[in-house]
Chains A and B, each alone.
Chain A
Amino acid sequence: MLSFRHIRTIIDKEWAEVFKNKMVLFTIVLMPLLFTALPLIMLYVTTGSTIPGGDTADLPEMFLSVCGQMDSASCMQVYVINQFLILYMMLPLIIPITIAAYSIVGEKTTRSLEPLLATPISTEELLIGKALAAAIPAVGATWLCFFIFQILIPLTGASQQVRAYVLGPTWLLGVLVVGPLMAIAAVNFAIMVSSRVNDPRVAEQMAAILIVPVLALLFGQVAGLLVINQQLMLIVISALIAADALLIYLGARLFQRETILTRWK
């Protein structure tokens, strides 16, 4: 049976270490703030006018279904702001990678892994603790920034239709469900890599590969190949649940105490 005391202790330890590192703290705070400010600025700048030379006719045909009865200016704003939804989904993926990638390989380099593994903690408790320690700040920061974004939207002068859209099911699914699922995938992948390599930089670089599918979504929408709507969100959620289950399973399987201890140089 899992010991929540052990899991809590690992989270506590990881946070105590991570938050002493100013650069990591900077990454956790700066990027969400940036991703909150940018859409607000975008909305403020584009409110009350269509983008010069822009018209809904310029938008990908598939996207027009998202706009429904919106006026052309609002539809344009929703199109622009929808790109930022992808960034919001990416945040919980980017933020924890640094923490998670360093989690096992960092313990290897400081030689603290052996005494840690000599305690009665189980592999599952250790991995859950490390995963949560990386995922919670990322999801928390994303949700906090989304909350700030929602509060500040009225100040941009965006129309009611736009405000309703960013509080609609597509955005809520994206931020509240896809985000945490992305975080779980990211931390498990990063921890898995971290337990197999000997250099923290390699772990970080390899874990960053996960951003590629999300970028595919972004460019897919920009190119008009897909539209981020509720249907697509449900497909993404299903795929992420499957990916998370696979990554958790592989992470636990690939974390071989003996190999980690004896092959580490």
Chain B
Amino acid sequence: MIRTENLTKTFALRKNQPPIQAVQNLTLEVKEGEVFGFLGPNGAGKTTTVRMLAALIRPTSGSAFINQFQIGRDDTQIRRSIGILTETPGMYERLSAEKNLSIYANLYDVADVKGQVEKYLRMLGLWNRRMDEVGSFSKGMRQKLAIARALLHEPRVLFLDEPTSGLDPEAAKLVRDFIEELKSEGRTIFLCTHNLDEADRLCDRIGIFKSRLIAVDTPANLRQRLFGRRVVFHLRALNPEWVETLRRFEFVKEVTPVDNRLLVRLDEPEQYNPVLIRKLVECGADLQFVGEIRHSLEDIYLQTLQAEE
């Protein structure tokens, strides 16, 4: 669906200043129906990447294919086959919501303009406000309208640039739920976001990007790769001998006692947890809870960027 090979974008600034390499050798593949989270700090080149993939700006070198169309060669077909939510909604504020969508439906050559406009206005809960000027809309409503605009022509590939940025929690949840709905329809979504919790919940894979792609994998694999997996055993009371008992197992990589808890690092807790639980019970431990310590995506993100620096 989306494939890039050594995609690079350099911006020449003023005469005496060196050019800025906004995107360096980006090689990536996003499969059909996948939600791909593109994470990176401000100025990392995320928007530049989306603009290149949406055939809005040309790469300096490298190539990219969207729906088999090559950027730089099949730009009109690419623009026709993708939907894009830009960083700012950019609606025509003096016009009504319905008029805004009708304009874009016509520009995307939609056959049933009225039908599609109505479908998405209803789907996003804006039907009753369809005749109101967009200037009177809240930020969340504008964002929803911009999402509707990106979907009018039923694109299979969507680029969403910060879809929940600046929204209140309720509006952000509405947008996130809608993205989940789009995901369930099998659309390919390229999601640029700063909201790591959102990326963790929505994305099948994430790429951490800062001018170049630093890491790319599923959130679970990235967690394991960076932190391994850790299990916590909550005990009524901790006997220091049990630490040594657990360390004797080959599959245990590390055991750390903390208060009445034992933190155990190991690779496959699903397989080895029962062994450890049996052993602790045999030793006379009163087990209260057992759980996995799950590192947040924020930890992964910060760790990855720190390692890069």
A115:B92 contact, CB within 8 angstroms = no
Whether a CB of chain B sits under 8 angstroms from the CB of A161 is no
- Nearest residue (CB) in B for A263 is B11
Q: Please, which residues of chain B bring their CB within 8 A of the CB of A113?
A: 90
A110:B84 contact, CB within 8 angstroms = no
Scan B30-62; emit 1 where CB is below 8 A from any A CB, else 0.
000000000000000000000100101110000
Whether a CB of chain A sits under 8 angstroms from the CB of B104 is yes
A9:B99 contact, CB within 8 angstroms = no
B76:A257 contact, CB within 8 angstroms = no
Interface positions of A from 119 to 154, Cβ below 8 Å from B:
119-122
- Nearest residue (CB) in B for A3 is B109
How many Å lie between the Cα of A118 and that of B87 in the bound state? 13
Scan B62-97; emit 1 where CB is below 8 A from any A CB, else 0.
000000000000001001100010101111111100
Residue of B11, B56, B58, B92 near A112 (CB, 8 A) is B92
Scan B256-272; emit 1 where CB is below 8 A from any A CB, else 0.
00000000000000000
Whether a CB of chain A sits under 8 angstroms from the CB of B242 is no
- Nearest residue (CB) in B for A21 is B94
Known interface pairs A110-B93, A262-B11. Does A5 touch B86 (Cβ–Cβ under 8 Å)? no
Whether a CB of chain A sits under 8 angstroms from the CB of B297 is no
Residue of B84, B86, B95 near A16 (CB, 8 A) is B95
Whether a CB of chain B sits under 8 angstroms from the CB of A258 is yes
B57:A262 contact, CB within 8 angstroms = yes
Q: Please, which residues of chain A bring their CB within 8 A of the CB of B11?
A: 262
Residue of B56, B92, B106 near A118 (CB, 8 A) is B56
Known interface pairs A9-B103, A9-B106, A118-B79. Does A261 touch B90 (Cβ–Cβ under 8 Å)? no
Residue of A9, A110, A258 near B56 (CB, 8 A) is A258
- Nearest residue (CB) in A for B83 is A118
A16:B99 contact, CB within 8 angstroms = yes
Q: Please, which residues of chain A bring their CB within 8 A of the CB of B91?
A: 112
Residue of B58, B76, B80, B88 near A111 (CB, 8 A) is B88
Whether a CB of chain A sits under 8 angstroms from the CB of B146 is yes
Residue of A13, A118, A261 near B84 (CB, 8 A) is A118
Residue of A17, A119, A257, A261 near B92 (CB, 8 A) is A17
Q: Please, which residues of chain B bring their CB within 8 A of the CB of A111?
A: 86, 88-90
Known interface pairs A261-B51, A261-B56. Does A119 touch B90 (Cβ–Cβ under 8 Å)? no
B107:A120 contact, CB within 8 angstroms = yes
- Nearest residue (CB) in B for A17 is B94
Whether a CB of chain A sits under 8 angstroms from the CB of B149 is yes
How many Å lie between the Cα of A110 and that of B146 in the bound state? 14
A112:B90 contact, CB within 8 angstroms = yes
A9:B88 contact, CB within 8 angstroms = no
How many Å lie between the Cα of A119 and that of B91 in the bound state? 14
Q: Please, which residues of chain A bring their CB within 8 A of the CB of B127?
A: none
Interface positions of A from 8 to 39, Cβ below 8 Å from B:
8-9, 12-13, 16-17, 20-21
B79:A119 contact, CB within 8 angstroms = yes
B92:A13 contact, CB within 8 angstroms = yes
Scan B107-119; emit 1 where CB is below 8 A from any A CB, else 0.
1110000000000
How many Å lie between the Cα of A113 and that of B56 in the bound state? 11
How many Å lie between the Cα of A13 and that of B92 in the bound state? 9
Interface positions of A from 86 to 115, Cβ below 8 Å from B:
110-115
Residue of A6, A12, A16, A118 near B54 (CB, 8 A) is A118
How many Å lie between the Cα of A119 and that of B149 in the bound state? 10
How many Å lie between the Cα of A120 and that of B91 in the bound state? 17
Q: Please, which residues of chain B bring their CB within 8 A of the CB of A258?
A: 56-58
B104:A119 contact, CB within 8 angstroms = yes
Whether a CB of chain B sits under 8 angstroms from the CB of A51 is no
How many Å lie between the Cα of A13 and that of B84 in the bound state? 20
Whether a CB of chain B sits under 8 angstroms from the CB of A215 is no
Residue of B80, B88, B146 near A120 (CB, 8 A) is B80
Shortest C-beta distance, B221 to chain A (Å), equals 33
Known interface pairs A115-B90, A120-B76. Does A6 touch B106 (Cβ–Cβ under 8 Å)? yes
Q: Please, which residues of chain B bring their CB within 8 A of the CB of A119?
A: 79, 104, 107-108
Q: Please, which residues of chain B bring their CB within 8 A of the CB of A121?
A: 107
B94:A20 contact, CB within 8 angstroms = yes
- Nearest residue (CB) in A for B58 is A258
> Can you name 12 A-B residue pairings with CB atoms under 8 Å?
A6-B106, A16-B92, A16-B94, A110-B90, A110-B93, A115-B146, A120-B76, A120-B80, A120-B108, A120-B109, A257-B56, A261-B56
List chain B positions with a Cβ less than 8 A from chain A. 11, 51, 54, 56-58, 76, 79-80, 84, 86, 88-95, 99, 103-104, 106-109, 146, 149
Given A13-B103, A116-B107, A257-B56: 17 more A-B contacts, CB < 8 Å: A5-B106, A17-B92, A17-B94, A110-B90, A110-B92, A113-B90, A114-B56, A115-B104, A115-B146, A117-B56, A118-B56, A118-B79, A119-B107, A121-B107, A258-B58, A261-B51, A262-B57
